[in-house]
Amino acid sequence: MRRPVARNLTVLVVSAAVVSVGAAAPPGAPAATPTKSPVAVGYGGAVASVDPDASAAGIEILKKGGNAVDAAVATAAALGVTEPYSAGIGGGGYFVHYDAKSRTVQTIDGRETAPLTAGSDLFLENGKPIPFAEAVSSGLAVGTPGTPATWQKALDKWGSKGLRSVLRPAERLARDGFTVDDTFRAQTAANETRFRYFPDTAELFLPGGELPVVGSTFKNPDLARTYAELGREGVGALYRGDIGEDVVATVNEPPVVPASGWNARPGELSVKDLAAYRAKFQAPTKTAYRGLDVYSIAPSSSGGTTVGEALNILEGTDLSKASDARYLHRFIEASRIAFADRGRWVGDPAFEDVPAKELLSQRYADSRACLIKDDAVLTSPVAPGDPRDPADCDARGTAAPTTYEGESTTHLTTADKWGNVVSYTLTIEQTGGSGITVPGRGFILNNELTDFSFAPANPAVHDPNLPGPGKRPRSSISPTIVLDRHGEPVVALGSPGGATIITTVLQTLTGFVDRGLPLVEAIAAPRASQRNAAQTELEPGLYDSALRTRLEAIGHSFRANPEIGAATGVQRLPDGRWLAAAEKTRRGGGSAMVVHPALR
């Protein structure tokens, strides 16, 4: 039997509610970077993202009468300007929406797809996998973009404003520019070598041949014109028009500086691929946890099933009373097991028989939870179980290692005065995507197809994540909305970070629900990430602590990771206010804003 929520969630926000408040500058104000704050409380709606200009774009739309969906698209478009190495119309993502009127959650799968000509040998040459470092900066890695289709589908279904209207703040931001910060410069520097392979990328992101200067104004007039064209003509301009033709030409003949010597392998994207692309409505995953209902995205992403399975495994442990060491141990082991099952069973359900319902069953979770011991550590890689025929404590199968996923993704969360909520994660894969900018268009193309397995890890075991024609590569994106037993929103959150997204969302949720942390503190807490590997990654706050020594004593092995994820979230308070929360320091700190700040 499931027990009730560990503690009254209404009291968790008291300390967070008085930290600080962020609000957008009024529409029409002179261009300036809005105040950045990791938490804001008030009425009229809320936006949380990694960037203050992007959050301000969403708030601007809410102030003009838009709803959470309108604000989410506006924020996402603005992130395409200020976070171009993480998101943009050259990528894809997953959109989770709560409708306050019907009290239901629905989702959109806007994941990129492989070309219709792609086979399982997409990344093989002479029978061997292409070196990963060579594949990522190539036309071969580019999938059919899904972001514009996601925006249009969401607006048509749930929005109150048109695409042209919600793109205006981002168009203005691209035209007038934003202030370069340390994070933008550092991300550019990390990509400088490969950006110089591609002339249009170098011209845009290395102005005058140099790294952008912190404090300078960065403008992207090409992207402003592209947004204006999308606003006038609709997303058909990409899927059936001039923008799409430019994308196809760039993928199939990547423009490379000849002197660089870079082999940017051409892709096989066609106008037929663009015309055939569809963002998909689909039912969310649903997991009951501590008397709450946790909704997320179903496959093609593994986020909802993997977070959900781990929550079900943890259901039998009272984490609210566990010591810090026992809590972290149980969290790590549940993550390890859930990733073992993810690797074996999750792929694009249009091509693979994904037992999502069985993976999320409590019966299956219980059969896996019995593997966890408080005085010992499971040896990775743990073998998957069989959710279709659960056997208690069975670990006899063949393990499937976790494939690499790029960490350059971004997450935003919005809410409105009517109670609607959006949790939306979008991406172009690794930092800087493919590195290839579409000439004259101002946006970088994704390298999302590198999320596929290049070859089976074990030829004797079926790999559900091999490439295929029109197939979506597996993702770890986990945008999540949590409802109470009355169908009212409690919290919504998500994070970037490749495969660490799953562990970030899981740790933030358990920190908030079980450990009693205010949302902003649950987001800020030092993170651990175990993905069925020999070592668990720890941020410095854990790696440099005595807690690490206590866990090593029972067999854990760790390695340091300077930064894991960059979450944002919103929370509905009992008096009707919204609390928006973002990172305090990761990625330079995030930006939480509300329409009408209030501290009472």
Residues marked active site are found at 409
Bridge partners, 105 (sequence order): 98
Cα(251)–Cα(139) distance, rounded to whole angstroms?
Answer: 5
What is the bridge-based pairing of β-strands 39-49 and 409-416?
A: antiparallel
Cα(586)–Cα(29) distance, rounded to whole angstroms?
Answer: 28
Q: CB neighbours of 193 closer than 8 A, spacing ≥ 6?
A: none
With helix as H, strand as E and coil as C, how does 229-269 read? HHHHHCCHHHHCCHHHHHHHHHHHCCCCCHHHCCCCCCCCC
DSSP 12: T
| 3-class DSSP state of 312 | helix
Provide φ and ψ at 59, rounded to 5°.
-65, -40
Cβ contact 564:537 at 8 Å: yes
Buried b / exposed e over 298-312, threshold 16 CB at 10 Å, is bbbbbbbbbbbbbbb
| R_g of the chain, CA atoms, integer Å | 22
Cα(416)–Cα(116) distance, rounded to whole angstroms?
Answer: 39
Cβ contact 346:464 at 8 Å: yes
Helix 163-176 and helix 147-158, axial crossing angle in degrees, nearest 10:
140
Residue type for 314, please?
Answer: L
Cα(245)–Cα(344) distance, rounded to whole angstroms?
Answer: 37
Cα(307)–Cα(495) distance, rounded to whole angstroms?
Answer: 13
Token pair of 364 as six digits:
């299956």
Bridge partners, 391 (sequence order): none
Query: H or E stretch including 110?
Result: strand 104-110
